[in-house]
Amino acid sequence: MFKRISIFSSFLFLGLMFADIAKAVCPLCVVAVGGGLGFSRWLGVDDLISSIWIGALLVSTTVWTIIWLEKKGWTFKYQKTIVPVSYYALVLIPLYYYGIIGHPLNTLFGIDKIVLGIMLGTIIFLASMVLNSFLKKKNEGKQFISYQKVILPFIILLISSFIIYFLLKWI
């Protein structure tokens, strides 16, 4: 277990060393969350916790895609509905098809852990985006700290993951 954590920490450190200036839900953030998901499965992290990060990844990818489409001038009717529905479908349908979602022994309070985690991750990430906007508004449109837009969701997701980890130990 220590070896796995050491390898994960090394990749995290390397990622932070080569990080560039963050943009609104930047591609680097999307890749970092995606990489974290792979490592969490490898480390044997509970599906509920991993799925929180999947939900965050889906939100960040959705926001990033919509911003990218708008910058390119490729807007279309209902894009703010079609893009997220597409991303969530591209994740949930294969997971259901291969029996990863819907397994009777992978539930919490009768709800599939992956579905519950994705819902929680979506809500947590959206709340962190709202909190970031609120903090910037309070500070006359400026961030309180460098990389606030990246640090805030990451820290909130990390704290939420630890809280849920300890709650799962008691359930």
pLDDT in tens, 135-167: 999 988 888 888 888 888 889 999 999 999 899
pLDDT in tens, 49-108: 989 989 998 998 899 899 999 999 998 889 989 999 999 999 888 888 888 888 888 888
> Domain of 164?
26-170
pLDDT of residue 69: 92
Classify residue 20: in a domain, yes or no.
no
How far is it, in rounded angstroms, from Cα 113 to Cα 47?
6
Q: What is the DSSP string of the chain?
A: -HHHHHHHHHHHHHHHHT-----TT-HHHHHHHHHHHHHHHHHT--HHHHHHHHHHHHHHHHHHHHHHHHHHT---TTHHHHHHHHHHHHHHHHHHHTTSTT-TTSEETTEEHHHHHHHHHHHHHHHHHHHHHHHHHHTTT--SSTTHHHHHHHHHHHHHHHHHHHHHHH-
Classify residue 124: in a domain, yes or no.
yes
Q: What is the pTM of this model?
A: 0.74
pLDDT of residue 10: 47
How far is it, in rounded angstroms, from Cα 66 to Cα 110?
34
Q: Strand pairing of 107-108 and 111-112? A: antiparallel
Classify residue 11: in a domain, yes or no.
no
Q: How much of the chain, in percent, has pLDDT values that exceed 70?
A: 77
Dihedral angle of Cα 104, 109, 113, 115, to the nearest 10 degrees: 100
pLDDT of residue 146: 83
pLDDT in tens, 4-31: 444 444 444 444 444 444 444 455 555 6
Classify residue 63: in a domain, yes or no.
yes
pLDDT of residue 143: 82
Classify residue 6: in a domain, yes or no.
no
Q: How many domains does the chain have?
A: 1
Classify residue 36: in a domain, yes or no.
yes
Residue 123 has pLDDT above 50, yes or no: yes
pLDDT of residue 37: 59
